[in-house]
Structure 1
Amino acid sequence: MSETTLPNYITIVTELQQAGLAVSPAELHGLLVGMLSGGLGLNDDSWQPLLFDYTNDGMGWPQSNLATAKSLLSFSMKELTADQGFELSLFIPGEDVEADVFEIADGLSEWVNHFISGLGLINASFTKASADVKEALADLEEIARLGIDEDDDLEEQAQLLEQVIEHVKACVLTIHAEFGVKPTKSSETPTIH
């Protein structure tokens, strides 16, 4: 399996801004992962009109930006449906863009808020969800209001933020495990009629 990585955060910020789209890469990725985790089909393009409505008053996106969104969706789909490992990448500002603890926390908050919105856009119903999923969603709602005080010890806050990021990943994986669409396994032996 080839190692695919997320694109450069600043490059995507620039692309979205140049297109006049009022969405950050963190918001876009959170929204897409939320839709996937809420049950968006793996070969379903219904996410596009939802994305257009939510981010651009129903107007379509330029092809290059739509291609970026598709690649983010595809990347996350592969991570969420991988047979081995429970790896999830969050497309938020990080060391690669020399983000400080405040920028990382803001990016995480944007990501989580839009993840929750993505669940709503795809009409995920949590009324019959397991207790684990309800707890994960409650945790995410609390994390969405995350903030760091300038008077706090920033080194300690950075360490706590890393723990929060890992907890967000665990919550997302918990929700996706219950509501996300899994790839169908093709049978090893052909069916004889």
Structure 2
Amino acid sequence: MFDDLPGAGRVFDFDEIADHLVEQGEQCSPSELHGCLTGLMSAGAVAEPAAGLAGLNQALNLDLHGELAECMLELYSVTLAALLDEEFDFHPLLPDDDTDLDLRVLALGAWCRGFMAGYARATVSAGSGDASLPGDSAEILRDIANIAQAGVDEELSEDESEGNYVEIVEYLRFATLNIFMDSQGRAGASDAGTPSLH
């Protein structure tokens, strides 16, 4: 994913980020970090990567530093570029397809929990927590909260489970883009004088 973006291979290396988290004694998943950063941006957080890192630390009660913090700054920039890309190049950071499905589903749930934490943090910081959401955003947020509780249905065949996983990830991709675009439209309509993420 994001293979055509400069530096994306290093930034989006799931296992490398996981190793850094273990080294720093953090229990969260790389997917949760990426979900949180994406949630911050999707709620209209500012474009500066340093602000994104601060929001990530606050939302997930972390203290990321060193090489991992640098990686998160790059991840923020690459993710923002993907969200703004007209080719819809955004993808959630999840384990590779050769990873056991149970672990991929756990990571998917962690991504969604991170997204909700980041989104909530940004809306509280902006004082817009009670504002009505545009378009389908409210329903999409409920869907993301439900996906956070996802598990593998043992009664389904492996192919059916894989198919369901792929469908959910694809839905999540476009649902996230929808929320991001809604928030951009809302920010532009409410305060044309405030610099946007563009």
TM-score range, shorter chain: 0.7 to 0.9
2:101 alignment partner in structure 1:
101
5 Å-filtered alignment, 1:8-157, equals 8-43=13-48, 45-56=50-61, 60-82=63-85, 84-95=86-97, 98-123=98-123, 125=129, 127-157=131-161
Distance verdict in 2 for CA 1:56–1:166, change over 3 Å: same
Three-state SS of the structure 2 residue aligned to 1:85 is coil
Of structures 1 and 2, the one scoring higher in RCO (CA 8 A, sep 6+) is 1
| Contact 1:126 1:134 survives alignment (8 Å) | no
| Contact 2:52 2:76 survives alignment (8 Å) | no
Q: How far 1:99 sits from its partner (Å)?
A: 0.7
1:164 alignment partner in structure 2:
168
| Contact 1:113 1:141 survives alignment (8 Å) | yes
Deviating 4+ runs (over 6 angstroms): none
TM-score for the superposition, normalised by structure 1: 0.83
Which has more radius of gyration? 1
Paired residue total: 178
| Contact 2:33 2:114 survives alignment (8 Å) | yes
- 1:117-170 per-position Cα deviation (integer Å, ceiling 9, x unaligned): 110011153632124111211211211111113343121111111001011111
Higher normalized helix content (fraction of residues): 2
Distance verdict in 2 for CA 1:28–1:164, change over 3 Å: same
Q: How far 1:53 sits from its partner (Å)?
A: 3.1
| Contact 2:45 2:122 survives alignment (8 Å) | yes
The one-letter code of the counterpart of 1:26 is S
Identity of aligned residues (%): 21
Whole-angstrom distance in 1 between the partners of 2:134 and 2:74? 31
Whole-angstrom distance in 2 between the partners of 1:128 and 1:55? 25
**Aligned Cα RMSD in Å?**
2.1
The one-letter code of the counterpart of 1:17 is V
